[in-house]
Amino acid sequence: QVIHNSASPTVDVYIDGVLSVEGFAYRTATPVLDLGTDFTVGIAPAGGSVIADFPFSLEDGGEYVVVATGILDNDVTPFNLAATSTMFGATDGNVGLNVYHGSTDAPSVDVLADGGVLVSDLMYGEFSGFVEVAAADYTIGIAPTGGASIADFTAPLSGLGGESAVVFASGFLTPGESDPGFGLFAALEDGSVLELPTYVGSTSVQVIHNSASPTVDVYIDGVLSVEGFAYRTATPVLDLGTDF
């Protein structure tokens, strides 16, 4: 399976000189492909000529993921194809995961699942290796190695029992004006790519009106939520997010 995680340019992918993936866009993936063990991948700007060739020599019967990563014309994190052996599918009731750190300006990170460390000290350009987790919904946290989570995402894996996904960090922690921001994405075996939504927490809030006399309307995030809220009255306990 090939995943495009090199920020922004749409490319054409050639295998042994034959156009195999046309108009391959950033943050998309191929389905799992059946290839020989020795081949050359050529990368070209969409509609253009090949500008880089990457030879591969893999094991017969192996399963691999290849990620286009890095930044074109950048000496620190140059464009490259990162590859690792993996497994597609999982045992019943589990989901197979392989995590790739593809955010060029992010430090080494721990990947947390519901607060526990799933992958530790993952550097840019590294894969976690294949692991299986129970098919359930998780809150995935990204933390500087040894630190607390700085970004949390919802991973709805409960419907993927027996399947697998490559989860890849993408974009920039501190993006420039035209740069894509940081996110987590999951490439499934059929080539579909899911953006993991930012985790939205919940809080329980009660509002009491104790400012003498005026009856008011209360808006939450621009929506009329309490109409005609009178002095010395209160709302029931409300379920809200953490930022409003």
On the 0-12 / 13-18 / 19+ scale of CB atoms within 10 A, 105 is middle
- Comparing CA positions, the residue from 4, 2, 7, 3 lying closest to residue 171 is 7
pLDDT tens digits for 206-227? 999 999 989 999 999 999 999 9
Can you tell me the mean pLDDT for 47-67?
Answer: 95
How big is the CA angle at 128 (ends 125 and 131), to the nearest 5 degrees? Answer: 155
The pLDDT confidence band at residue 8, using thresholds 50, 70 and 90, is confident
User: What pLDDT was estimated at residue 213?
Assistant: 81
pLDDT, one tens digit per residue, over 71-113 is 988 999 999 999 999 999 999 999 999 999 999 999 999 999 9
pLDDT band at 200 (very low <50, low <70, confident <90, very high): confident
Q: pLDDT by residue (tens digit) across 128-181?
A: 999 999 999 999 999 999 999 999 999 999 999 999 999 999 999 999 888 999
